[in-house]
Amino acid sequence: MIRRESLLQVLLVGLWVLVVTRVLSLMPPGACWVGWNSDMAIPVLQINDAVINPFRFYYYGQDRLGAWPWMLMQAARPLSGGGWTVHALILWHTLWTCAACFALLRLHRWGGWVLAAAYAALLMVLPGQNVEHMFALGHAFGWQTTAMLVSWWALARMLEALAGPTPVASGARRWGAGAALFAALACWSSPTSGPMLLAFLSVWGLFVAFQGPAGRARWRLLWSVLPVGVGIVTEVILRNRYHHFARKHFGQRYGTNIQMDLGYLGENTHAILERLRTAAPGPWVLVGWGLGLVALAFLVGQARRRTLDTRSDLARLAALTLMFTAGSVANALLTVLVTHVRLNGYEARYLVPTFVFGCLALAMGVLFLLSWVPALRAHMKGLGALLASGLLLGGYVFAREPMPRDPLLEQAYVVANALVEREPGHVLLGGYWDSYLVGALDPLGRIPTVVFKGEYLRTPFWTRDLREGPGAWVVFRREGEEARTATAPPWLIQYGTVLRLAEAHAVLAPPFQVARYVNETRHTVPVRLAPERGFKPCEAGASVTVHFERPVERGLLLVASRTPPEGIEVEAPGADEARLEANLGAWRVHLKGSRPIDQVTLRVRARVESEFCDFYGAALVTGAALDAAPP
């Protein structure tokens, strides 16, 4: 018997290794799930970050994706031999996501093999059809799913121990501690884990309670809620600590809009159902929900007739089908209720847990229906093994084609290597979608990266490096005609730092063009704004006056705004010339006069139709910096 168990364990590990290697074969070097972009790059920045503080508890600048997997890699960075790479993170992510197979195996003595095989087949066959987001580096679904399933397995064992005559001796505390740990990791990965775990628990808890301990002893089953509560409270504490730290050090909470969307429930419901109907594997999920309803009807009917045997395979398969259906529906309901999903166009990626648990409900539902047939009931163990084998073989053989090499990732590597060879430690500045995907690719973390003012800054801790450093790299992504004709702007003003163009084509790796800028803030005259804040450069009649601490006869006034200056009127008393130019978030007012100029007023003559209506301050450049500036 012991030898048979050992052989099964060896078989299990061998099959799991095959699944992992098959999934990894879909991701050759130079490729990345869902494509390489700045969203995927942020976790790569984090795993090589030398600092751990509350702002690092979550994905940079976002409070709904827990960073514990990346913090573990941060802690282990001394063992990496020179920093972690993109593919090291892909390997860790894949191993963790595939490890859910072990938890699924434990949920039923032979049906668990079908669950694990269905999950493995899902990972191998359906990437490319929304489930690939399980492996996307910038998403929490893979981390969240495995943590939830392990927590749920421990919760099920805890419930069984609590239902027995000697809960402590049966390990209720031990299973409860394990469930709490993984519930905390799941909720930290995503706060949506709490409601899904409660949905699982409500189904299985009622199922166990039906034939659980009698009388007052039945109330001890409520202790099973405690591990989920620990997970939810842990996430709330971490998120509050993150908000407090961000507000104290960076001036804002860096929170996500996850408010209830009660005014759009009808519209949201229709949009989510449409996604389920059209986005693979949504139709299979709807079939799984239908089988969940059949399982519910069966359990209720058996309970009403007092014939429900919670120890029978038929009843347990029905309960598992209903449990996975409940988790799948719970996530779908969250997407209906939360504003964030509507504001992001009801993207199918928010339904990934719904897809995964819905497909598992389908697998269990098929087993449940087969077990309901009296002629097949005695052969279900063999049928389950056959079904599991078919799912694994089908998933392995019909796995999707490997992802193609990503040329953007390859060129981003070229740029990153060139930057660290020339000026390691120089700040990299650019648009959100142009900067982080380059800055993340140095494993030694020598490319501190920030984005243009007004875009989503996820690394506010590096703006100080920009202000105090000698200069910056500025990356642009240009293609087609723009790549041949566009030029780097001669001046930039970012986060109060004045940057002068020194080398327009410092690095060229199409579609990337990197320019080198010098920090000229030391050559500026302090200014005072009137009014200090509230200037709207797109609203007719709005005005701001820039007062110079020291009058000048020649200078360059830089105004930080992304609004086009077509409707702007410049008033500069005493100036012979006050010429206005603009590009890339900076207006330039060239000042020259026969007598000192001590102020400039900018007034909006007519309303400007623009995507942006922002103003971030001004700076006056004088002296030697003007002579060194490009024409």
Give tens-digit pLDDT for 360-413.
999 999 999 999 998 888 888 899 999 999 999 988 888 778 888 899 999 999
pLDDT tens per residue, range 429-468:
999 999 999 999 999 999 999 999 999 999 999 999 999 9
**pLDDT of residue 135 exceeding 70:** yes
Looking at the predicted structure, is the pLDDT value of residue 32 above 90?
Answer: no
Arithmetic mean of pLDDT over the chain: 91
Q: What is the DSSP letter of 66?
A: B
Position 529 pLDDT exceeds 70? yes
Contact 326, 348 (CB under 8 A): no
For residue 484, the 8-state DSSP code is H
- Local structure of 502: helix, strand or coil: strand
Query: Bigger pLDDT: 53 or 311?
Result: 53
Confidence (pLDDT) at 143: 97
**Res 584 pLDDT > 80:** no
Given a cut of 70, whether residue 308 has pLDDT beyond it is: yes
CA–CA distances in Å: residue 627 to residues 395, 572, 584, 590 = 67, 22, 22, 13
Domain regions of the chain by residue span:
258-372, 407-519, 524-626
Whole-number pLDDT of residue 137: 92
Region 210-229 average pLDDT? 85
More confident call, 610 vs 56 = 56
pLDDT band at 192 (very low <50, low <70, confident <90, very high): very high
Q: What is the pLDDT of residue 128?
A: 54
Helix extents (H) in 553-612: none
- Supply the pLDDT for residue 275: 93
Per DSSP, the three-state class of 224 is: helix
Instruction: State the average pLDDT over residues 509-532.
Output: 94
Torsion sign over Cα 253, 254, 259, 264? positive
**Percent of the chain residues past pLDDT 70, beyond the cut:** 98
Tell me what pLDDT residue 127 has: 52
- pLDDT for residue 458: 95
Work out the average pLDDT over 544-557: 94
CATH 2.60.40 fits 524-626, yes or no: yes
For 62, 201, 202, 255, the CA distances from 195, given in Å and listed in that order, are 20, 10, 10, 20
What secondary structure does DSSP assign to 12-43, as a single string? HHHHHHHHHHHHHHTS-TT--TT---HHHHHH
What is the predicted pLDDT for the residue at 18? 92
Q: Rounded mean pLDDT of 126-146?
A: 85
Residue 6: exposure state from Cβ atoms within 10 A (0-12, 13-18, ≥19):
exposed
Comparing 141-150, 222-231, 301-310, the range with the smallest average pLDDT is 301-310
pLDDT for the residue numbered 321: 97
Peptide linkage before 526 cis (omega within 30 of 0):
no
pLDDT tens, position by position, 317-332:
999 999 999 999 999 9
The β-bridge relationship of strands 527-530 and 543-560 is antiparallel
Q: What is the mean predicted confidence (pLDDT) over 471-499?
A: 89
**Run of H or E including 153:** helix 141-163
pLDDT at 169 over 70: no
pLDDT at residue 467, rounded to an integer = 94
Range picked from 17-21, 81-85, 120-124, 356-360 for highest mean pLDDT: 356-360
What's the confidence (pLDDT) of residue 125? 83
Higher pLDDT, 53 or 129: 53
Q: Give 95's pLDDT tier (boundaries 50, 70, 90).
A: very high
